[in-house]
Amino acid sequence: MNFIYNVMMWLTVFAIRLAAPFNKKAKLWIRGRKNIFQRLRETIDPHADIAWFHAASLGEFEQGRPVIEAFRKKFPEYKILLTFFSPSGYEYRKNYPGADYIFYLPIDSSRNARRLVQIAHPKIAVFIKYEFWSNYLRALHKNGTRIFSISAVFRRKSGFFNKVYGRCYRRLLDFFEHIFVQNEISRCRLRAVGVKHVTVAGDTRFDRVYDIAMQAKVIPLLESFACDGKPVFIAGSTWPQDEELLLSLINRSPETKFVIAPHEIHEDHIEKLVGASRRKTIRYTQQQPDADISSAEVLIIDTIGVLSSAYRYGKYGYIGGGFGVGIHNTLEAAAFGLPLAFGPNYRKFQEAVDLISMGGAHSINGEKELTDWYRMLRDVEAEYNMASERCRQYVQKGRGATDIILSALEHHRDSVG
């Protein structure tokens, strides 16, 4: 089984190398791993106590971030090594101040795993959500490293439950000291196949988005945009299919201002979006920070790093991606009490399912449903207040996963501290 796994790893590398001349992410993936072991040796203090956190990409990093920061506060004597598999994680967070060393994860071969563990000699390793790298787990176990999985989700179709090879795959779980899952369903699935070192801790993203809401940045341009008393409708991480529906609503709703933060912010797309609006529309990056933009009616956020705090200025929210592979982050907006709408592809995201069942969110299939949802909230104050409060309460009640995980790590302080 491990032979097949190793062959698949190198086939993956081969495919990415072939794609690199034509694909920006593939090029970054290859370039970021060039001379990586030399850079690891030159950077990591060989005498330091290392805690290694690994995230596949940006989303998993944000999920694990509350634990990283709480760990750093509780165990300040440790140096933190943070690795990413994907460029979309590393390139955005390579200067993250909460870690001492930040690198791409070398491809998971037996030799690479041994070399990284020899260089970093981590006392603890924490893998976030879906990360189960066979060779790294074996090398860490052999090194005596305590290994944890946090914010994990085990879906019914996961390889761990496959009737043909599931038993072999599940052996990887034996390397973990403990597995912290997001929900009871995951725990039950694991217990059904004999995996018992599992705790339902919840989703650490709730802790993260709650902290963001409590410490949300003041954004002067948004302050100016929202200062005239009109309600603000914020659409985050939108795709063209989302924007087509939103533009129709925008052009027919002069009583409300709109903020759109597209998922893709390349120039031709932004220009097309501005041109399709029949109301006074401006771009975030083309304004001076202290500009008076109170007369603008539509604001396009054509940069990153603003959206999570921008939700504080909103009354209604829309989350993009639901007409494609799946919706984006709903919790950031829900933390501020924004009733939410999104497209039909949301069922893989438990928080979206929960918010709909509670009455805080609504799934729409087209322009009419979006308009009806918005007008109902606009015109019926009791409906709006109920949906807003349900969203806010959902995030508040979901907090606590970070404390559960840190308490368990402290319980192992003979190995960790």
144, pLDDT greater than 90 = yes
Q: Are strands 316-319 and 232-238 parallel, antiparallel or unpaired?
A: parallel
Q: How much of the chain, in percent, has pLDDT values that exceed 90? A: 81
Give me the mean pLDDT over the 80-87 stretch: 96
Please determine, for residue 301, whether its predicted confidence score (pLDDT) is greater than 60.
Answer: yes
Q: What is the mean pLDDT of the segment spanning 164-181?
A: 89
Residue 320 has pLDDT above 80, yes or no: yes
Q: In 49-67, which positions are buried (b, 16+ CB within 10 angstroms) versus exposed (e)? A: ebbbbbbbbbbbbbbbbbb
Half-sphere exposure of 306 (CA within 13 A, CB side): 25
Best CA proximity match to 329, nearest among 61, 71, 28: 61
- The CA distance from 291 to 282, in Å, is 12
Average pLDDT for 305-324: 95
- The better pLDDT of the pair 17, 335 is held by 335
Partnered with residue 343 across adjacent β-strands are none
DSSP structure string for 245-260:
HHHHHHHT-TTSEEEE
**pLDDT digit string, tens, across residues 255-296:** 999 999 999 899 999 999 999 999 999 999 999 989 999 999
Query: What does the domain layout of the chain look like in residue ranges?
Result: 2-202+400-416, 212-397
Ranking 76-85, 196-205, 207-216 by mean pLDDT, the lowest is 207-216
Cα–Cα distance measured from residue 384 to residue 103, given in angstroms and rounded to the nearest whole number: 45
Residues 6+ apart with CB under 8 A from 260: 235, 238, 243, 246, 273, 298, 299, 300, 301
What pLDDT, in 10s, does the model give residues 386-401? 999 999 999 999 999 9
* The predicted structure's pLDDT at residue 155: 87
Which H helix or E strand runs over 281?
A: strand 281-283
Q: What is the pLDDT of residue 10?
A: 81
Query: Tokens in use for 185?
Result: 């369903």
Q: What angle do CA 343, 346, 347 make, to 5 degrees?
A: 145
pLDDT tens readout for residues 212-226: 898 888 999 999 999
Q: The tokens of 112 are what?
A: 């690479």
21 has pLDDT over 90: no
Alpha helices in 20-52 (DSSP H): 24-31, 36-43
Confidence of residue 160 (pLDDT cuts 50, 70, 90): confident
Collapsing DSSP states into helix, strand and coil, what is residue 183? Answer: coil
Sort strands 257-262 and 298-300 into parallel, antiparallel or unpaired. Answer: parallel
SS3 30: helix
Query: For the residues of 53-102, what is the DSSP string, one character each?
Result: EEESSHHHHHHHHHHHHHHHHH-TTSEEEEEESSHHHHHHHTT-TT-SEE
Mean pLDDT to the nearest integer, 55-76: 93
Q: What is the β-pairing status of strands 101-104 and 79-84?
A: parallel
The DSSP 8-state label assigned to residue 171 in this structure reads G
- Please tell me if the domain spanning 2-202+400-416 has the same topology as the one spanning 212-397: yes
Assigned CATH class of 212-397:
alpha beta
Residue 412 pLDDT: 62
Q: How far apart are CA 123 and CA 102, in angstroms?
A: 17
Residue 123 clears pLDDT 90, i.e. is over it: yes
What pLDDT is stored for residue 304 in this prediction?
85
Q: Which residues of 35-44 are buried (b: 16+ CB within 10 A; e: fewer)?
A: ebbeebeeeb
Going from the C-alpha of 165 to that of each of 157, 160, 161, 189, 192, the distances in angstroms are 12, 8, 8, 16, 16
Residue 305's contacts (CB-CB under 8 Å, 6 or more residues apart) are: none
Radius of gyration of the chain (CA): 23
Q: What is the pLDDT of residues 25-60, one digit of tens each?
A: 889 989 999 999 999 999 999 999 999 999 999 889
Q: Which residues pair with 147 in a beta bridge?
A: 125
pLDDT at site 130:
87
What pLDDT score does 156 carry?
A: 85
CB 189 within 8 A of CB 154: yes
Q: Per-residue confidence at 1, pLDDT binned at 50, 70, 90? A: low
CATH class of 2-202+400-416: alpha beta
Tokens in use for 158? 């996961």
